[in-house]
Structures are given as structure tokens and as C-alpha cells.
Structure 1
Amino acid sequence: MPDLLIELFSEEIPARMQGKAREDLKKLVTDSLVEAGLTYASAGALSTPRRLCLTIDGLTAQSLPVREERKGPKTDAPEKAIEGFLRSTGLSLDQLEIRDEKKGQVYFAVVEKPGRAAAEIIAEVLEATIRNFPWPKSMRWGTGSLRWVRPLHSILCILTDEGGAEIVPLEVDGITASNTTHGHRFMAPARFAVSSFEDYSLKLKSAHVVLDSAERESAIWSDASNMAFARGLELVEDKALLAEVAGLVEWPVVLLGDIAPEFLELPPEVLQTSMKEHQKFFSVRNPKNGRIEGFVTVANRETADHGATILKGNLKVLSARLSDAKFFWENDLRIVKNAGLEGMGEGLANVTFHNKLGSQADRIARIAALSEALAPALGADVELAVQAAKVAKADLRSAMVGEFPELQGVMGGYYARALGLPSEVAQACKGHYSPLGPSDEVPVEPVSVAVALADKIDTLTGFWAIDEKPTGSKDPFALRRAALGVIRLVLTNNLRLSLTEMFEKSNPQADATDLLNFFHDRLKVFLKDQNIRHDVIDAVLGMQGNDDLTLVVKRAQALDAVLKTEDGANLIQGYKRASNILSQAEEKDGVEYSFGADLKFAETEEERALFAALDQAEAAILPALKAEDFAAAMSAMAGLRAPTDAFFTAVQVNAESEIVRRNRLNLLSKIRQICLSVADLAQIEG
């Protein structure tokens, strides 16, 4: 079985597009080959800034012949129907077979397709893939019609087996497939021939090209970390930047430089953001004082002076960038020291938050009022919470945040500290946006939590009030993220809050019930990662206090734990059996069996045992629920499993005696009643 090697060589592919392009190339080609009748053992896609590569091992040499039978119209069908069938099969009338069926004679087409050579199929598949490749953006060049992310220069396409390598005959828009490629643009630009993937990757390495992006990432991180360590420093981790830089170079050469002394007092976040956004530099930190004192840049070539000229040029550009950052920093500090943070934020009255929700200043006033309402329940100082809410967004008017929007909040914290404001206020300025994502750190300082909750609840109730809700995959105002942020703030800090009350205090025009349902959906998604099933959540959401997320989760965790036990899992079946029998009897009799079970009408030991077990469970469950000891309540409920099973095994509910029948139905009603006091077990699947 031959192996296939494809390389599409072009001008530089944007780093952000390379990962998806690898996967798209692999899927499009392999799916099409399989559809055409070929099979393969394994496939892998790789990339550098100038090439996409696909290697497929164990490809079948040709497709199998196919014999296909298609039933056509009856022989006496209208002429146009017969002509249409002939066109669809590509056969003539004399090539059709006539077969007898119950309703008369029918035409059949027998189409035999011979097996095709792999090279022929590959050529068709690869041309279609290239012409229809799903780049986010593509371009045309020259006079041809082909579109590619950047001008496509060459196509390498070979099949290799024991007999050697065969070039797959293919031409796309004047580009003819070959067995040759280029090495590094500057260090080894000459073309060279290859005979297999192993030969290709080894020769590329000799030509200063590291084909695997993961290998480039590893080399960059290892070299940069070692260089920093040798200087007593440490590299600041940034996985996204590492992936991006690995997509910018074919032969990574790591260089370590020092930041000029005049910039060392800038906040670390400012240095990191400026170097990352403008220069794609990694930050190097002094672990002793937390300052950013150096940077790592990754060149795409080796030089005779070991990168000295490259570093000199980078330092010149970096100094210009950091000079701007220093100016913003000093100018912002001057403003806040003269006018305070509230003075800096005065211009927010002229900044629209949303045309139906007013300005940013209006929003700040709402957040301050809600922070005041929330603070006592969180154990936060009310005055500090209000003060923090009033200044938390002031840095939106700062020059630094204007240049680097991702530093909003961070800069507010620095400016608050520079003014000597309480540390709780400075922390809230920085932390009130958090958590921004599922892995972001959650604030735990009470003032920060109060402002963070108020910020997110105001956003949600505001957009709910103007009926701007997420629909399908569209969520332009990131409301799902805001709801998840509230959930994580509440659960991480073990807060006991009525969300409904908070919604009504925040914005009475918002539909609190609908918004609470939205939160319940987000909660299910959040708890799925903790292996708590949706049906378990549904079983506790119908209980009183379902707007207290901490209470809901405690119930769900206790129920989930019980359902993982044998008694808990089997009790579900007993409960559902009791509920089904009751429902059928109530519908038939037109009455509700909800009370009146009397021990004196019990005829069997199993009935009497179930009476006793229900009384015992009820006596344990009610105080446990009141004390919110849900584990004890669930355990007492699970204890009903054995007597319930025994009852159904030995007792016929629909007894001949109407008195006994009603008594037994009321006994089943007590099972339902006790279980429903703990959770709605009808929601549990299975």
C-alpha cells in the first residue's frame, strides 16, 4: 500500500489560520478519498508559515470495482420518464434490462464502475480541495482564477511504495505538481526533491525548516526558559502567544533582551500587554520583585552576529512603544491626582452604554445602588462597596485603556492605589469584571464580589428589560458569559442570595422568571463539567428556593450522590411504579389519593413494614430538610427502597376489597409525597 505526501507551498499564511487549515486539509482530502473508494491506515497534517502538509499512510492502490443496480420506470411508462432515467444512468435504451414484476415489466439499469488508480482519484480530490478550500479570507493574484490565502507557488504530491516515489499528475491554474519543495526562505532557498515523508521532513530540517508547529513551540519555550533561568529570571507563560509566534517562524531562534531602565517602573501588565500586542514579545520577570525586566523575541533565522543586530532593531522599536505607554501612564496619574478617579470618569456621562439603557454614567449609578443592596448579605462594607462601584469604571476614560482596552479594571486598580484609596476599592476596580471565562479567577474579597455581582446583574436585567436576549448561537452582549460569571461568584463564595429579589431590585421591568430560567440553563451547563446530570438538576429545580443557586447545587450534589448508590438507583424505579399506579387509578376513579392511609387496614406484613418505614423516613427527612442537611434527607429517602420493593413483590394494590384498595393507593401516595418533599424524582431518566 502506498503512502501519500502533499505539500501546498505559498507565501506566509497568517498564524491564526494555520491550525484550522491543517484540520481542514486533512478532513477534506481524507473524506473525499474514502468517498471515492480508497481506504487508509492513518493521516496527519502539519504546517509552517509557508506550507500546509498532509501525509497519509497505508493508502489503497486503487478503488474496488462497483456494480450498481437501479430500478427504473415500467416499460409502458411515458417516453419522457424513460428518457430521464436514461440520462441519470448514462446508458442507452438497449443497455437496460427488462424484468418481470408483479405490476408488469420494469426497466433496470446495471452500472458497472471499474476500479480506479489511487493517483487518478488523488488528482481529482486535491484539485477540488485546493479550489474550494475554506479560508476565512482568500485572494487572487496574477491573471488566474484560483483563490488562496496568499499566492500559491507550488504543489508537491507524491505516492511512495516499495518501488519508489511517483508524482501524481495534477495541474491547478498553471501550477503543476512535482516532487520538489523549498527550504528556509533565506538560509536554504534552493529547491530539492523528496521521495517520502521521512525524506521530506529530514531534508526540511537540514534546510532550516521545523515542520511540526508543536516542535517549534517546544523549542521556543525551552530555549526561552533556559535563557531566562540563566539570568535569574523567569519567563511569563502565555500559551496563546506561544502558538502565534510558532506560526510566524520556520526556524525559531530565541533572543533575550533587557528593557531600558526608564521603563522598569511601569506596571507589569502594561509592559506585558504592550510587548505582546505590538511586538509579539514574551515578558521576562524578576521573581524577587515581580517586575518585568526583560523580553524574548523569536527570530526566523540565524545570523553571523548571533542576533545582535536583530535585538538592536527590536529594542529601538520597543523603546518607542514603551515611551508611548510611559506617557499614557504619567498623564493618567496626573489627571487622577488632580481630579480623582470620579473626575477622570466624568466624561462617561457622554459615553453611551446602549441607546435604550443610557450612558455609562447611568449604568455606574445603577451598579452603585445594587452594590449597596448586595453588600450586607455578602458581609461587605456598604460605604466601600458604593465607593468602589462609583470609581470602578473610571479608567475607561484613561489614555492607557484607550490604547489597551484589555487593561480596563487593571489600570483602575493602579490609579486607586496611587490615590491612596482603601485596598478594597482598588481590588474591586481590578476584580469587578471577573470572572470573564470558565477558567478565570473568581474574586473572593467581599467588596469586589459585591461590585462584580452588581455589574453582571445590571447587564443581564437591563438587556432582559429591553428584550435583547441571546438567540441560538448569537449572543452579541455576552449575556451567557455574564450569567456564568454570576453563577461562579455565588458558588465559589458560598453565597445565599435570592436571585429573583436581586433581579427585581436591579430592574423591575425585567422578566425575573424568564431570566431565572436562563440561569437554570446556564447552571446545567456549568454543573455538567462536574459530572452532575441535567435530569438531576431538573429534579431539584422544582423545589422551593430554586433562585438560591447555592441551595440548588447542595440539593443536586446530595441527590447525585444518592443516585450512585444501589438503594438510590432502585428507589427511582419503585417511586415511578407507585406514581404510575396512582396516576392511572386517579384518572380512572376521578379522585386524588393523597391522604387517609390507615395502618388498621393493612393485611400483610409488607404493608405494615412500609407504613413503619414511611413514618420513620418522614420523621428523619423533615428536620433534615429544615437544617439543609440534604445528604441526610436523601439517605433517609433511599432507605425506602427495600420496604417499597418488598411491598410491590408481595402485595396486589388493586385488591378486591375497595377499602383495602383505597388504603393501599393512599399508602402509595405517601411514598410519592415523601419523595417529592426531597426532589422531583419523576425528572430522573432511566
Structure 2
Amino acid sequence: MSVQNLLVELFVEELPPKALYKLGAAFSGVLAEQLQAQGLAAADAVVTAFASPRRLAAHVTAVAGQAADKAVQQKLMPVSVGLDANGNATPALLKKLQALGADVSDPAASVAALKRQPDGSGKVGAEALFYDSVVRGATLTAGLQKALDEALAKLPIPKVMQYQLETDCELPGWSSVNFVRPAHSLIALHGSAVVPVKTLGLTAGNSTKGHRFEAKLSTVVVPHADLYDEVLKRDGSVIASFAERRAEIERQLHAAAARAGGSEDGKPHAALQPIEDEALLDEVTALLERPNVLTCEFEKQFLDVPQECLILTMKANQKYFPLLDAAGKLTHQFLVVSNITPDDASAVIGGNERVVRPRLADAKFFFDQDRKKTLESRVEGLSKVVYHNKLGTQGERMARVCAIAKAIGQKIQGQGDADNLAVQAEQAARLAKTDLLTDMVGEFPELQGIMGGYYARHDGLSTEVAEAIEDHYKPRFAGDDLPRNQVGLVVALADKLETLVGMFGIGNVPTGDKDPFALRRHALGVIRLLIEKDLPLQFYELNEITENAFPEGMLENDWLVLEEFFKDRLRSYLKDWGYSAPEVEAALHAQGMTTWSDLKIRLQAVHAFAALPESPALAAANKRIGNILKKAGEVDAHVNPALLQQEAEKNLFAAMQKLLPESQAQFQAGDYTASLQTLAAMRSPVDAFFDEVMVNAEEIGLRMNRLGLLKSLHMAMNRVADLSRLPS
């Protein structure tokens, strides 16, 4: 068989939509890897994955009918074991050769064909016997069978199901098959030739099924591997490519949105846009074989309900795409992606409009009912909701968050009255979880916080408190917005810190990939709030405030574990900005750094300093100074100019007298970059000092003076960052 392109398709019943893309990528990827590993496909073979609701397929270019033969050298055994004292083959050697298929009728010839080479142990004179043979290349049938079995075995199947196949034997019976969904046909084409592989009780052919309702032919025959998607589209009315189908849905969504924006009463509408949701788009793509986007609408009276509720019910329950106006406000129109294309779509449109109406009516009912009770009236109910069996009820948790928020609010000296901030933060923390008891959040848990903000405004609470209730879960995910005002910042901090300290305190520490309470996300949220909002709060005091909010004896864990957990998240967060690991460590270990709010400008300064030619020498000198001071013990950062004897130490002191005050002034002004670059001029006098001066002089006064000189320099050099951690 010559080199041809290969097509493999497994036709099944409807696959789980949320897993379809991964299933398609895994099937084609493992299939191609296995063919390449067996020498049947080139390393640069082009692999195209196909995945639709009822099929997984892969197209691989330039697949050989048989792999090339391969020369193989096998290590048999040590010479001392394989040959006797006369150099003849031992029974052990002959048995080994026979097992490998070698001709042992002439033992002497068999030994002569072997190679004696060093055994790789490194021992002098240690040799082993090696056998050279040629392994025949795998045939495509055998190789594809192995690749197909491996591809199906490695599919990331969310949940396996078991179904029965009728056996082919003379006696009637059934055999069990385990797979993600029942499989009905298999295609394996090498060019136009069928490769006779088998799997899941199926034997490969060249035919499949098309669209359930709109296929032009009941059985779609694929004449050649390269015509698969073309024939399936023409005769089966199926777009097999996941990527192509997704792009087609996007195109139709935007085209339909543009038409929906049209005009009314002769007046042009503002441009409409379908809501952007990549996960929804992927899921809809996985549900359809040939998409057709239709425009539907609902009664405008439902727009009185918060749009988040309407959008969520349309997306989550119906897989619809709501239409938004240019300001991002929900309109009464939405888009449906249908799997059929009838001549008259009115029945499909009407059906979808009838289906969505009860959903929206439920949302309106929940909203109206919830507003009959104030958030304050729901506070007592939190004491009846268990938060955690070791940490008490939601009411007890709320009281802790209130205490933490009040203390943090009193610490922050921002714009306005700090006492007022503490009062508002405590009020927002008290009400932040009450929307968990509402009907709307009970139906749609994703709306917690958001609905609390709406109900707070309805209750006449201040904008600051309402926004804080809405925002206190933020940031919910990487890249999410931060709370809009300081009250929200304080409550968000308090809420996340209470969760972290509480969970760590009872031993619920994330391990490996397991993080059921999303503690990594909470820690990253705290870090973002402190750094991106420039909050002058120290980690140890936040930890102390939070710990004090818990009853004595409730928490037992070592707080150093939590601190190290935070630092690991902080390192990852800072590296994501593009800084190197040494730069991050240098900034984190700056002398006297107590808050994380200025880490951005510290890192900018360190990055700029690391690019200077003086950086490696000063980093090395800093490391050397640190080692000297560590061995010296307690050293006073004081220099007596009268005790400076050698020219190099006098020059270093003079340079310090000139440059350190300038660097200190720049540091205090917040210009960390200039502060470090000023210190770069210290390179020459520092190098000369270590070349010419003996620090540990025998005379105690002289030695302590020189150590004091180095101590003063070390403190100045490490004010912005620990320069010894940079490459030297």
C-alpha cells in the first residue's frame, strides 16, 4: 500500500455537549501520535479533528501502508554469563537467542554474529553481548488497530455507560460494551481503500449517517478520505468540523443581530449585539450538526426584572443568546440556534417563544416576591443555615465578617471619614449574605450578591452599601473586576479572609488539584485587592484581625502555613506580570517591607536595575556583605571616619556620604527606580574595597568600624529589594 491520507470516523449516539470538543481533540491527537510512534505517519503529518454531536473523526495526512523496517540492537546479558571459558555459547545465551527468533542451529555462528560492547555500567572491562536484528515495520491494519484502541482508551470520558451487543456466534447471546455512548458505525479509509479494523463490536467500512432530519441520503458513502467533510456536508447536511460549525454560528449570530437592529417606525435602531459567552457558544456548537440562527422575542414587560436574571435563565436553561443594545442593556429580542432549517421557521420561532415565557415569568415572580421582605428582615434567618459543621452557621459567619470589616475599615485612612467607612462596611457585611435566603438566588445561585445589590437599593440603602453587597464576592475569577468603592473593598477583604483563616484553622488546606472551597482563588483575590487598590495593610495585622473574630479554641492550624500559602500565590501573581523569579524574590525580601501595595513599583525598579551592567557585580557584593554580617552577629550601622585607614574604605565611605542620602530621598519620594540606579554608582568603590581591605581586622575597633560601614551600605542597598537574590 502506498502513502495516502487516512480518515477514521466513529459514529455514535449524541455525545455529552460540554465534553465534545475535548473528546474530538483527544481522539484525533492520540490516534495521530500512535501512528507516528509506529512509523506509519510522519512527524509533520497534518492532523484535522472533526467532532459533531454524533461523531468523532480524524484526518491524518501522508500515512504509509506499512512502516519501514527498523534496525534494533538488544542487550542480551554480560559476556561472563553468555560465554563459557572457551568462548562458546552458554545454554542461557542460546535460550535467549531462540526466544528472540534467531537461528541457533550453529551456536558458533550465532556467537560470531553478536557484538561485544561496554555494558554501560562504567566499570572497567565490563562488557555485554548485543544482538542486532531487523524488526519488520507495522502494517497499517495492525498499526491503526493499535492506534484506534489506544485513542478510545484514552478518551477523557466524563462518565462511561454500558450497553449490549448481539454476538455473532451461532448461539444467541449478548456481549457488554463500555463506552461514552452506543456506537453504530466505523469508517477507516486509507485513500479510497477500507482498512479492516474493528472496535466496539463494529467493523470498519466507508459509510455513515448524516443529519437526523435533513440528510439528503439515508446512508452517506465516503469514497475517499479527502472527501469526508465535503460529502458529509453535501449528502448528510452535516458540518463535521467543530471549528467550522462554531465560526458559522458566530457569523449567523452577528448577521441576525444586525437584522434585528433594523428600524421601527422608520427610525433606525442602535446596533444590537448577541451576548458574548464563549462557554455557551462551545456548548451550542456541540449540540448541533447544521446551525440555523433565528430571531425571537418576548414581552417587554419582563424587562422590568433585573437583566442578569433574564440573561441567566435564557442562557443556562434554554441555550439562547440574548441581544443587548449598544449600552449593554438587554432588549426583548433573543437568538435561537436551531438544528433544522425549515422553509417556514414560524413554528420553530413560536415554539421557542412559548418555552421561554414561563421561565421569564418565574423570574419576575421571584423578583416581585423577594422585594416584599427587606434584607434586614432576613438577617435572623442566617442563623438557621449551616455554613460548616466546624465553623457554625451563616449567622455566626456573618458576625465574624462584620467584626473583620469594621476593624479593617478603621485601619484604612482613605478619602472621607474612616469611622463612616467602618460603619458602612459593617452594615454591608451584615446584609451581604441575606440574599442567599431569597427565592431568586435559591433558583439561580449564580446571582448571589448581584440580587443583594438590587434588593438593597429597593430597601433605600445607600449606593455605597448596595454596591458593596453586590461586589463583595469580587474578584470571582482571574481577570474579574474589583469592587467599585472602598466599602466594597473592605467587605470583600473581610469575606475572603474569614474564609481563608477559618478553613485553614480547621485543617481544610488545598492539596494537589483539590481545592473544594476555592481557597486559592480567595487568596489571589486578597492579593489583588491589596496590591491593585494600593491598600496600606500588612498581612500579619489582617491575619490577627481575622483570627480575633473567631471564638477562642475554634481554630487550631499553624498560621505560618497560611502565610506561606499566600506567598506562593503572590509569587505566581507577580510572575504573571512578566517578571523573573529572581526579581520577584528580590522584591519580596526587601528590608522593612511590611505591605504589598508598592510591589509593582518595587518590581519595576528591580527589573530596570537588573538590566544595568553594574547589577551582577553589586548583586555579588551584596551577597558577600550579607554573609559577612551574618557571621559577625549583631553589628551597629555606625561609622567613625577617624578609624578609616585605607584609601579604599575612605573612598567607599565618601561615595556613601554622597550617594546614600540621594538614594534615600528618592526612595522616600516613591521613585524606587531612581533610588536603585543611584546606588549603581557604588560598584567601583565597593569592588575596590573588597580588593584592598581586610574586613575582619585583628583590632576590634577597626573591625567593628568596617562592619558598621558594610551594615550601613547593606541597609541602603536592600531598602527597595534584596539585591543579593539577583543573578551575579
How many residues end up aligned between the 2 structures?
Answer: 670
SS at match of 1:471: coil
Would you say 1:97 and 2:111 are equivalent positions?
A: yes
User: Distance between the aligned counterparts of 2:148 and 2:246, measured in 1?
Assistant: 29
User: Distance between the aligned counterparts of 1:576 and 1:64, measured in 2?
Assistant: 58
User: Distance between the aligned counterparts of 1:87 and 1:282, measured in 2?
Assistant: 69
User: Distance between the aligned counterparts of 1:664 and 1:421, measured in 2?
Assistant: 65
Residue in structure 2 matched with residue 394 of structure 1 by the alignment: 434
Residue in structure 2 matched with residue 343 of structure 1 by the alignment: 377
* Offset, 1:108: 4.5
* Offset, 1:578: 5.8
Residue in structure 1 matched with residue 511 of structure 2 by the alignment: 471
Cα distance change on mapping 1:413 and 1:76 into 2, 3 Å: same
* Offset, 1:319: 1.3
2:564 to 499, 517, 520: 517
Would you say 1:193 and 2:193 are equivalent positions?
A: no
User: Distance between the aligned counterparts of 2:710 and 2:539, measured in 1?
Assistant: 36
1:412 to 438, 449, 452: 452
Cα distance change on mapping 1:142 and 1:672 into 2, 3 Å: same
Q: 1:302-321, aligned counterparts within 5 Å? A: 302-305=341-344, 307-321=345-359
Task: Name whichever of 457-466 and 204-213 sits farther off.
Answer: 204-213
Report if aligned partners of 2:533, 2:597 keep a CA contact under 8 Å in 1: no
User: Distance between the aligned counterparts of 1:106 and 1:566, measured in 2?
Assistant: 54
2:55 to 36, 47, 51: 51
Would you say 1:32 and 2:34 are equivalent positions?
A: yes
Residue in structure 1 matched with residue 613 of structure 2 by the alignment: 566
* TM-score using structure 2 length: 0.84
1:247 to 274, 286, 291: 286
Cα distance change on mapping 1:151 and 1:654 into 2, 3 Å: same
Residue in structure 1 matched with residue 138 of structure 2 by the alignment: 116
* Offset, 1:215: 2.2
Report if aligned partners of 1:89, 1:111 keep a CA contact under 8 Å in 2: no
Cα distance change on mapping 1:398 and 1:10 into 2, 3 Å: same
Residue in structure 2 matched with residue 326 of structure 1 by the alignment: 364
SS at match of 2:323: strand
Report if aligned partners of 2:21, 2:242 keep a CA contact under 8 Å in 1: no
Report if aligned partners of 2:26, 2:154 keep a CA contact under 8 Å in 1: no
CA RMSD of aligned residues (A): 3.3
Give the aligned residue type for 1:200.
Y
Residue in structure 1 matched with residue 663 of structure 2 by the alignment: 621
Deviations 1:300-330 (A, max 9, x none): 111121x211122222221122222222112
Residue in structure 2 matched with residue 149 of structure 1 by the alignment: 180
Would you say 1:499 and 2:539 are equivalent positions?
A: yes
Residue in structure 1 matched with residue 478 of structure 2 by the alignment: 438
* Offset, 1:579: 5.6
Residue in structure 2 matched with residue 7 of structure 1 by the alignment: 9
Residue in structure 1 matched with residue 67 of structure 2 by the alignment: 63
Q: 1:190-589, aligned counterparts within 5 Å? A: 190-206=218-234, 207-232=236-261, 233-287=272-326, 290-305=329-344, 307-334=345-372, 336=373, 340-376=374-410, 377=412, 379=414, 381-508=421-548, 511-576=558-623, 582=628
Cα distance change on mapping 1:76 and 1:643 into 2, 3 Å: same
Percent of residue pairs identical: 35
* Offset, 1:454: 0.8
Cα distance change on mapping 1:310 and 1:633 into 2, 3 Å: same
SS at match of 2:587: helix
SS at match of 2:66: coil
Task: Name whichever of 472-481 and 638-647 sits farther off.
Answer: 638-647
User: Distance between the aligned counterparts of 1:254 and 1:493, measured in 2?
Assistant: 43
Report if aligned partners of 1:97, 1:107 keep a CA contact under 8 Å in 2: no
User: Distance between the aligned counterparts of 1:93 and 1:577, measured in 2?
Assistant: 69
User: Distance between the aligned counterparts of 2:227 and 2:500, measured in 1?
Assistant: 58
Cα distance change on mapping 1:668 and 1:347 into 2, 3 Å: closer
Report if aligned partners of 1:61, 1:117 keep a CA contact under 8 Å in 2: yes
Cα distance change on mapping 1:371 and 1:128 into 2, 3 Å: closer
* Offset, 1:402: 0.7
* Offset, 1:483: 0.9
User: Distance between the aligned counterparts of 1:91 and 1:630, measured in 2?
Assistant: 75
Cα distance change on mapping 1:104 and 1:668 into 2, 3 Å: closer
* Offset, 1:443: 0.9
Report if aligned partners of 2:274, 2:323 keep a CA contact under 8 Å in 1: yes
User: Distance between the aligned counterparts of 2:724 and 2:240, measured in 1?
Assistant: 56
User: Distance between the aligned counterparts of 1:327 and 1:251, measured in 2?
Assistant: 36
User: Distance between the aligned counterparts of 1:293 and 1:33, measured in 2?
Assistant: 53
User: Distance between the aligned counterparts of 1:603 and 1:575, measured in 2?
Assistant: 21
SS at match of 2:362: helix
SS at match of 2:304: coil
Report if aligned partners of 1:10, 1:153 keep a CA contact under 8 Å in 2: yes
Deviations 1:395-445 (A, max 9, x none): 100111111100101111111111111111211111001101111111131
Gaps of 5+ in 2: 118-123, 166-174, 262-271, 415-419, 549-554
User: Distance between the aligned counterparts of 1:25 and 1:6, measured in 2?
Assistant: 10
Report if aligned partners of 1:378, 1:495 keep a CA contact under 8 Å in 2: no
Give the aligned residue type for 1:113.
V
SS at match of 1:549: coil
Give the aligned residue type for 1:47.
A
